[in-house]
Structure 1
Amino acid sequence: MTSNPSSPSDSTPGRIPPERDGTPRRESGRPLVLTGARIFTADPGHLWAEALAVAEGRILAVGTVAEVERAAGADAERVEAHGALVMPGFCDVHIHLGLGGRQLAWELPLLPTDTAGQILAKVREWSTGRGPDEWIVGGIVGSTIMDTLASVEMLAALDEASGGRPVMLRDDSMHNRWVNSRALTLMGVETDTADPRDGTYVRDRDGRLTGVLWEMASQAAEAAVAAGIEDLEAYLRRALIEGLGAAHSFGITSMQEAATMEPTLRALQRMDHAGELTAWVVTSMPAQPFLEPGPVGPELFEAAAQYRSEHVRPDFAKYVLDGVPMTRTSAMLAPYRCCTDQHSPEDRGHLIWDAEELRASLADTVARGLGAKLHATGDAAVRLALDAVEHVRSLHGGAPRFQVAHAEYIAREDLPRFAALDVVADASPYIWYPSVIQSSIAQQVTAEVFEDSWPMRDLVNSGAVVAAGSDWPCALPSPDPWVGLQTMVTRRSPDGSLPGALNVSQALTMEEAVAAFTREPARAMGLGDVTGRLAPGLSADFILVDQDVFAVAPERIHHTRVLQTWFSGRPVYTAARDTAGPA
């Protein structure tokens, strides 16, 4: 999905030359002044500036060159930006950093556009030279392909491609899996094994297992994979470092991990203590049994407190209220499209929580001082979430933070409730432009529901907070925010690979879209007084990019490349010379 345009010439404005080792050198203790830039602060009272000063990891001053130099003093270091656009570091309100990092560090890379034949060929090639018992784990399998895999013939093809090695492949929603016969055996799943609660071992018409796993059936596969990892801590540390590197290359300096189990919390804290965690990480601990094995709910919430550190904030619980529309597991107010022999004409998906249980659990969570991120893809699930928040607000007032992910389908009468209840719309523009996911969804929900999806303009106009998240590694193989920015503005496939637009009346302006990737997610995560804007006293988290996204044609936004990413006053990423152009 992402593109790699040719390197700009020497004369391209906005290049900040790296030193010979690729990273600008800093002299300890001296303020730094950045000039020669067009600076977008994302601070509503002072949106644009000429220069900024950094001292001790924080923004010292933002304003005119004279104002900033006066604040920094004559001894300050100087950095010339050569006309680059400077922006706050991006804040990703919904990312699976560990899962995305695992894919980069350890797993078979698949594209959501790969055909079944291409997937099998990649499995076959990846298997070469690997041990007979070594797991082949990979992703992402596109939803339109997952729709075709539930047959014993495809199971046999996966068995053959893997040479008998166990296989687990994740789909683009990360809710579902495709495994082979060896994996089913290691999972302990047989023909007569009952489906788990809120999950399905998909069978054909004759009751034979197909290797396709929906929702919580995937947990057994993830548990079997985890059992084969010898040193989990080292495995997770490398994955998280790989994930951070990818995030920094796209300008991301703070993030909300959308489903964080205890081993990942422990790894993050140890990285922070070792000086390896170069981002603000807010975590979301599952309130219920999750796709990954391990303690959840109150047991996890109580354990999480010990992992708090300077940059690790275990401040949210994660609730999954329904599934995904591709498998008709989103909870909808109206029936899905009719009809196959596997679906009732009254099929509306299903809710994982009932109203009373959700209210009680949320009240307990908030009493512990935690906010909540509620996965609710269907409009019925969104209504359940809003009803529960309204109840908890009546008990606890306005203190708790609530986010609804992914704000995909919202009944018209529920739209004003986001602002009224101070509920954040956790938006996923990476998912909702014309894509393989949307192609699959269009076969499930009615045209009326589909065409009214992702109502971002209405939410912004109502005063609701719209905060963008990549949901990486769902949908796309990278957390590239420039793809999401362009999609919010155009409502079209960024690279033009798929035609059409999706509910184009809901497009945002560029300034609104940038706010949804900076200031608003910082607020949503509880980091509004720490990052997300370039303002005195906040962390010096900022990026320099190779084009002015406020001036280029909207269709060019996704070509933007980050030249440097700064976190807490020091550079954590500098583009290589072949990307950033000659110094």
Structure 2
Amino acid sequence: MTQTTVYTGKIWTGVADDDWVEAFAVADGCIIATGALHEVEDQVGTPHETIIIDKGIVTPGLIDGHLHLSLGGTQLAHELALDPTDDAETILAKVREWTSRLKPGEWVIGGIIGSGVLPMLNNVEFLEKLDEASHGHPVLLRDDTMHNRQVNTTALEAMGITADSSDPEGGTYVRDDQGRLTGALWELACAVAEGVAAGSHVDPQERQVKALQTALEHLSALGITTVQDAATMLPHFEGLAALEEAGELDMRVIASMPIRPFIEDGTVGEELFAAGMEFESEHVKPRFAKFVLDGVPTTHTTALLNPYKCNHSSHDPNFRGELYWTLDDLVAALRRCAELGLNAKLHATGDASVRQALDAAEIVRQDAGGGPAMQIAHMSFISEQDLPRFAELSVAADACPFMWFPSPLTEGVGAFVADETMANIWPFKDLLASGAVVAGGSDWPVGLPVLNPWLGIEGMVTRQAAADSANSSDSYGDRTVNINQAITLPQAMAAFTRESAKALGIAEETGTIEPGKSADFIALDRNIFTGDIKDVHNTQVTRRWVAGQGS
């Protein structure tokens, strides 16, 4: 016999920004009724259980539309934790201490190094200090963009890299003015180091499963019920499949599979697409191809419409970065995705790369099938003339990482990107006014090593660093980031529920509390809509339900 449960309390459904109900009923994992308590009970009719949630409020479960499950979980479960505010000496001290825990020859792997700190490490003097601190262990440290790495000489030797080695396609082994390796790796050079480091693990499968378990437990405690993994490789699929088979996966995972070589070594493109499809399951949904159209600002690999700031005497004052794809190749690949039934998630950190993505969308939207569903990820910078094109072309704005307030990453980017461009960063208000879908994502572990979606939700409204957080207002005072683009709290909550569901193509399944949807919802310890907006980041999730199952 089907068990019906009625939940009653103060319930924000997310159907509209101000839509509240007193109760809803759940049966067979789905919501079957909403409304006033007496209306819901009358509609249910049959004997049922009633659960009263008399503290705080109930909302739809959060959807993180952009994160890296394996990277984030591996960092939590296995690696040296660095804070983006750590300076060179602090990093060296942490590496030195970490080596005492390792077996001979074991790699020191960790992060994250702040974007403002990374350039200061790019020299042979720091490389020598890192060699000394690591006591003969190979070292691989990731930056806060996850597009760059800092390694030591032992790691370079393990990679087979010398000063005479050619740079890999799409990447750079950074050298100083005298041609000496500094230990900095940019873009696809990182994949070489990651591949060698991964090959040193004694039991990669066990390590992967532990990383994913750790990530999912962490996300669950934060009230997240669905995620879009932004770069799902074969080992990640295998780890998720192991958890699904063991009955330990209670989160919907929308997979995005890299179409070209990625900063993590492994199978990509149509070979990965075909393999990934075999892992489709109740919770794992291989739905997207992942495109990378440019890099990151801190290594001058973001494609911009305005020139970069001049950072040194040899810098080209007209340099704007470079696009990784030609428009013709991008259009052809998007059409192929449509043929394969895949949607497209496009990394575009600069306004030039965003424009290229929109130009490609405009072309494929004229095809008979209209091309694939598309998200443009990061989209920190958007030319004013391109803002209305998101809605016009049905392209979702995948907003991440949630650094739309003062932070080490924002500060680091501002050192490279023109002030005029930085002044218009994260134009959420204008995008929403144009009718665009703005989906929230963390990009965890990019930006901040500690994931807190409530920090991102608060920051969309205040555009300030939260007090008593890792990016404390003690450091930034009352400074804001493009405060004119602040949005309302209901709009910010929608970005992490209803609108993310739309961007992921699962709006018929989840994202709101309404009949016919999966019973994915959470109970909070407070009413965030009536309390102090600057206290939202302290919100605690008291319980979480996925398909009606509580945890």
Any residues of structure 2 matched to 1:118-267 within 5 Å, and which? 118-267=90-239
What whole-Å deviation, never above 9, does each CA across 1:444-489 have from its counterpart, x for those lacking one? 1111111111111110000000000000000112331100111110
Query: SS at 1:387's partner residue?
Result: helix
Q: Residue 4 of structure 2 aligns to which amino acid in structure 1?
A: P
**2:532 aligned with 1:560, yes or no?**
no
> 1:491, CA displacement in angstroms?
1.0
**2:529 aligned with 1:550, yes or no?**
yes
Per the alignment, residue 416 of structure 2 pairs with: 444
Query: SS at 2:244's partner residue?
Result: helix
Q: Residue 130 of structure 2 aligns to which amino acid in structure 1?
A: L
Query: SS at 2:406's partner residue?
Result: coil
**2:448 aligned with 1:476, yes or no?**
yes
Q: Residue 488 of structure 1 aligns to which amino acid in structure 2?
A: M
Gapped runs of 5+ residues in structure 2?
Answer: 468-472
CA RMSD of aligned residues (A): 1.4
> 1:196, CA displacement in angstroms?
1.3
Distance 2:531 2:254 in 1: 33
Seen in structure 2, the aligned counterparts of structure 1 residues 46 and 186 have a Cα distance that, compared at 3 Å, is same
> 1:435, CA displacement in angstroms?
0.7
Query: SS at 1:82's partner residue?
Result: strand
> 1:71, CA displacement in angstroms?
3.4
Name the count of aligned residue pairs. 544
For the Cα contact (< 8 Å) 1:246–1:478, is it kept in 2?
no
For the Cα contact (< 8 Å) 2:55–2:526, is it kept in 1?
no
For the Cα contact (< 8 Å) 1:429–1:488, is it kept in 2?
no
Distance 1:174 1:183 in 2: 18
Distance 1:272 1:154 in 2: 44
For the Cα contact (< 8 Å) 1:60–1:71, is it kept in 2?
no
Any residues of structure 2 matched to 1:312-331 within 5 Å, and which? 312-331=284-303
Q: Percent of aligned positions with the same letter in both sequences?
A: 48
> 1:571, CA displacement in angstroms?
1.6
Query: SS at 1:99's partner residue?
Result: helix
Query: SS at 1:315's partner residue?
Result: strand
Per the alignment, residue 3 of structure 2 pairs with: 30
For the Cα contact (< 8 Å) 2:401–2:447, is it kept in 1?
no
For the Cα contact (< 8 Å) 1:90–1:517, is it kept in 2?
yes
Distance 1:533 1:187 in 2: 48
Q: Which moved more, 1:107-116 or 1:70-79?
A: 70-79
For the Cα contact (< 8 Å) 2:378–2:401, is it kept in 1?
no
**2:538 aligned with 1:538, yes or no?**
no
Normalised to the residue count of structure 1, the TM-score between the two structures is 0.91
Distance 2:438 2:306 in 1: 25
**2:347 aligned with 1:347, yes or no?**
no
> 1:339, CA displacement in angstroms?
4.1
> 1:182, CA displacement in angstroms?
0.6
**2:354 aligned with 1:382, yes or no?**
yes
Query: SS at 1:54's partner residue?
Result: strand
For the Cα contact (< 8 Å) 2:335–2:371, is it kept in 1?
no
Q: Which moved more, 1:295-304 or 1:88-97?
A: 295-304
Distance 1:380 1:399 in 2: 21
For the Cα contact (< 8 Å) 2:151–2:183, is it kept in 1?
yes
For the Cα contact (< 8 Å) 1:326–1:437, is it kept in 2?
no
For the Cα contact (< 8 Å) 2:459–2:465, is it kept in 1?
yes
Seen in structure 2, the aligned counterparts of structure 1 residues 397 and 166 have a Cα distance that, compared at 3 Å, is same
> 1:391, CA displacement in angstroms?
1.3
What whole-Å deviation, never above 9, does each CA across 1:264-312 have from its counterpart, x for those lacking one? 1122133223221111110000010011111111111111111111111
Gapped runs of 5+ residues in structure 1?
Answer: 1-27, 573-583
Q: Residue 108 of structure 1 aligns to which amino acid in structure 2?
A: L
Distance 2:335 2:310 in 1: 38
Distance 1:342 1:76 in 2: 73
Per the alignment, residue 510 of structure 1 pairs with: 489
> 1:321, CA displacement in angstroms?
0.4
For the Cα contact (< 8 Å) 2:259–2:289, is it kept in 1?
yes
For the Cα contact (< 8 Å) 2:174–2:182, is it kept in 1?
yes
Distance 2:401 2:142 in 1: 20
For the Cα contact (< 8 Å) 2:84–2:448, is it kept in 1?
yes
For the Cα contact (< 8 Å) 1:429–1:487, is it kept in 2?
no
Seen in structure 2, the aligned counterparts of structure 1 residues 551 and 457 have a Cα distance that, compared at 3 Å, is same
Query: SS at 1:307's partner residue?
Result: coil
Query: SS at 2:31's partner residue?
Result: strand
Distance 1:56 1:478 in 2: 35
Per the alignment, residue 4 of structure 1 pairs with: none
Distance 1:395 1:498 in 2: 49
Distance 1:185 1:285 in 2: 31
What whole-Å deviation, never above 9, does each CA across 1:89-110 have from its counterpart, x for those lacking one? 0011101011101111111111
Distance 2:387 2:402 in 1: 21
Distance 1:342 1:95 in 2: 36
Per the alignment, residue 404 of structure 1 pairs with: 376
Query: SS at 1:169's partner residue?
Result: strand
Per the alignment, residue 259 of structure 2 pairs with: 287
**2:84 aligned with 1:112, yes or no?**
yes
Q: Residue 34 of structure 1 aligns to which amino acid in structure 2?
A: Y
Distance 2:86 2:319 in 1: 30
Q: Residue 525 of structure 1 aligns to which amino acid in structure 2?
A: L
For the Cα contact (< 8 Å) 2:108–2:139, is it kept in 1?
yes
Match for residue 21 of structure 2 among 42, 49, 56: 49
Normalised to the residue count of structure 2, the TM-score between the two structures is 0.96
Distance 1:459 1:189 in 2: 45
For the Cα contact (< 8 Å) 2:401–2:443, is it kept in 1?
no
Distance 2:48 2:37 in 1: 13
Per the alignment, residue 333 of structure 2 pairs with: 361
Query: SS at 1:120's partner residue?
Result: helix
What whole-Å deviation, never above 9, does each CA across 1:496-518 have from its counterpart, x for those lacking one? 13231111111111111110000
Distance 2:35 2:17 in 1: 12
Distance 1:75 1:474 in 2: 48
> 1:45, CA displacement in angstroms?
9.3
What whole-Å deviation, never above 9, does each CA across 1:542-570 have from its counterpart, x for those lacking one? 11111111111211111111111111111
Distance 2:495 2:512 in 1: 12
Q: Which moved more, 1:371-380 or 1:58-67?
A: 58-67
> 1:159, CA displacement in angstroms?
1.1
Distance 1:557 1:566 in 2: 21
